[in-house]
Amino acid sequence: MNKPIIMHNEGNGIYSIEIPAGTEVFQSDIIVTAYDRYGKTSPNCPNLENTEQGKGVSNNVFAMIETNKPYVNISKPKGDGIKRTDGQVWYNTNKTIAAYVQDEDSGIRNVNINVNGIDITEDKNNFIIPKISDTMSAGNRDNSKYVYTFDTDYLTSIAGESEDGKYTIYIEVTDNAGNVNSQAHTYYIDKSNPVIEKFEFVPHASDSISQTNEYIEYLEYGFYFKKDFIANIYISDVLPSSGLNKIEYRLVSYENGKIKNEDIGYKIISDGVVAGNGTVTVQGAAGKSIVITNILGKVVAETVLTSDNATIAVPAGIVAVAVDGEEAVKAIVK
């Protein structure tokens, strides 16, 4: 049974009523008829009707109160490679990212999508993203569910190449009642292969060769030593870099020109620490403290990182990099 609505006399022939909206969504056609004391009536106001469906029938709703936020969801593909401890998502292949939006009550008013702050007007399939001007001109409220499809290559074509490989796609949806909902997805792109730059021999080989960058596929010539030696391997990975993970090796011993033994294995390179020319780059550690020591244990650098891709100048040689007091990572700085 409908409850009576109290009308307030505001004076000067103006009367007001308070709409009782006790739920998240209230809607009504609010058809009002005024009577005077002689029984005369006014026309229904507002006169909402659809001529094809009959008098007093309408697909539209004159008034709605809604507090529900519109539905927003962004698909977030898993990162390529190993799972990282810093929560960053890195891709080295093109990934599909889809945005889903809908408002079942008052309907979508507008959708704003950007990548790294640059506005996106249509998805990769040329599907137009509705703005306020589009939806205001529509005859009916839009309760449909929409899917906007992108991929990382398409988003890069809009935002351009990011120096640190970082991209953020952000979507904000507003419904006709003014409720706003948003979601974002941050990811990184790394499509460069790591490079083995050279081998360094300590001490020098018998013919005074100290290093080589040749890749010897067949044993036609080698480097000879009269005692044990150390082979330092220099590896680089140009930025933007997801960080070196591991190095695989194959050690083959020969006797009288024939293979005697073979040892295959790998060494883990701590995630996020990259050595360069007189520098160490630490990735994914913004806000964390870092201490770098040399081979003698002397502190050569100590700071709090202000970015997720911080480059620190350090002397050449073997250094140990400790982030927030965790186990130090060794790196060779050229």
Dihedral, 11, 14, 19, 25 alpha carbons, nearest 10: -140
What gap in Å lies between CA 155 and CA 113, rounded to an integer? 11
Q: What is the pLDDT of residues 126-173, one digit of tens each?
A: 999 987 655 555 556 788 899 999 999 999 999 999 988 999 999 999
CA atoms within 13 A on the CB side of 89: 12
d(CA 58, CA 215): 78
DSSP state of 45: B
pTM for the full model?
0.64
Here the tokens at position 313 are 């100048």
For residue 197, which of 238, 230, 153 has the smallest C-alpha distance? Answer: 238
Q: Cα 250 to the chain's mean position, in Å? A: 37
Name, in order, each residue with C-beta under 8 angstroms of 158's C-beta and a sequence gap of 6 or more.
115, 118, 120
User: What is Dmax (Cα atoms) for the chain?
Assistant: 124
Taking residue 169's Cβ as centre, other Cβ atoms within 10 Å add up to 23
Sign of CA dihedral 255, 258, 263, 269: positive
- List the pLDDT tens digit at each of the 334 positions of the chain: 456 667 788 888 787 777 665 555 556 556 667 777 888 887 655 544 444 444 444 445 556 778 889 999 999 999 998 777 678 899 999 999 999 999 988 888 889 999 999 999 999 999 999 876 555 555 567 888 999 999 999 999 999 999 889 999 999 999 988 899 999 999 999 988 888 888 887 777 767 777 776 665 555 567 777 778 777 777 878 888 887 777 888 888 878 878 888 888 776 665 566 666 788 888 777 888 899 999 888 999 999 988 877 888 998 888 888 888 777 777 778 7
**Residues 6 or more apart from 319 whose CB is under 8 A from it?**
275, 280, 292, 293, 294, 295, 300, 330, 331, 332, 333
pLDDT digits (tens, 9 = 90+) for 22-40: 555 556 556 667 777 888 8
pLDDT at position 58: 44
Question: Taking the CA of residue 229 as centre, how many other CA atoms within 13 Å lie in the half-sphere pointing to its CB?
Answer: 19
53 DSSP 8-state letter: T
CB 94 within 8 A of CB 153: yes
Q: What is the pLDDT of residue 54?
A: 43
Helix, coil or strand: residue 239: coil
Inter-CA distances, 292 with 22, 164, 168, 235, 276, Å: 61, 23, 31, 19, 14
For residue 156, report the phi and psi dihedrals to the nearest 5 degrees: -65, -35
Structure tokens at 263: 């040892």
CB-CB neighbours of 20 under 10 Å: 11
Q: Which two tokens stand for residue 264?
A: 């295959």
| Close Cβ partners of 187 (under 8 Å, ≥ 6 residues apart) | 76, 79, 89, 90, 91, 95, 152, 166, 167, 168
Could you tell me if 56 and 43 are in contact, meaning their C-beta atoms sit under 8 angstroms apart? no
Strand-pairing partners, residue 61, are none
